Structure formats: structure tokens, C-alpha cells
Amino acid sequence: MNRILTRKLKEGVVVTEKKGNTKIQRGTFTLSGGTVAVSFSDEFATTTDLIVICQSNTANIQYPSSVSVSGFTANGTGSDTGSYIAIGETKL
């Protein structure tokens, strides 16, 4: 039986999990002047496949750019807030 657990994250809280070769990091962010840099934990350093998804807490669109194993930049409008999830996998 598969269960999905969710919980509300406080602003700036980052959760990183490692399941075998898969790394998952999720957290929240606040844009400053329409942009923010988000850093990944060291667990992502060996990632070969990586996807980042951003979710806006407002009606404005936010999107990730400059994605790398060290982090990404989120772009949007003003000081909007949002959430993200990053999923990385290391191929053996």
C-alpha cells in the first residue's frame, strides 16, 4: 500500500530525502525583485537527471531557470512566494 504524506512547510523550510538513487528536496521561497536563488543540499552533487517544479502562492507565474546540481533560480513578479520540489536521480 502506497501512502502520500503532505504537510504545510513554514517559509524557508527545506526538506531533503534520499531514497536509493533518488533525491528529493522541497521547500518554499520568497522572490526579491522578481528573483531568488535556491540552493540544493550536497546530496544533489552527483545527480545525473534533475527536474524542478515551482508552484506559485499567488496568481502570478513563477518559473525555474538556471537549473544545476547546486540549485536553481526562480523568476516571477516582485516579492511573490512559492513552493518547489526538486527530484534528482543518480544513474549507476
Assessment of whether the complete model's pTM goes beyond 0.85: no
Contact at 8 Å (CB) between 51 and 64?
Answer: no
The rounded Cα 45 to chain-centroid distance in angstroms is: 15
Alpha-carbon distances, residue 68 vs 7, 42, 75 (angstroms): 27, 12, 15
pLDDT tens for residues 48-92?
889 999 988 887 888 888 899 999 999 988 899 999 999 988 876
Residue in the structure block whose three cell numbers are 504545510: 8
Give me the domains of the chain, ranges plus CATH numbers: 17-89 (2.60.40.3940)
Q: CB-based burial of residue 56 (10 Å sphere; 0-12 exposed, 13-18 middle, 19+ buried)?
A: middle
* Cα(88)–Cα(42) distance, integer angstroms: 12
Which pLDDT band holds residue 4 (cuts at 50, 70, 90)? very low
pLDDT at 14 exceeding the cut of 90: no
How much is the pLDDT for 91? 76
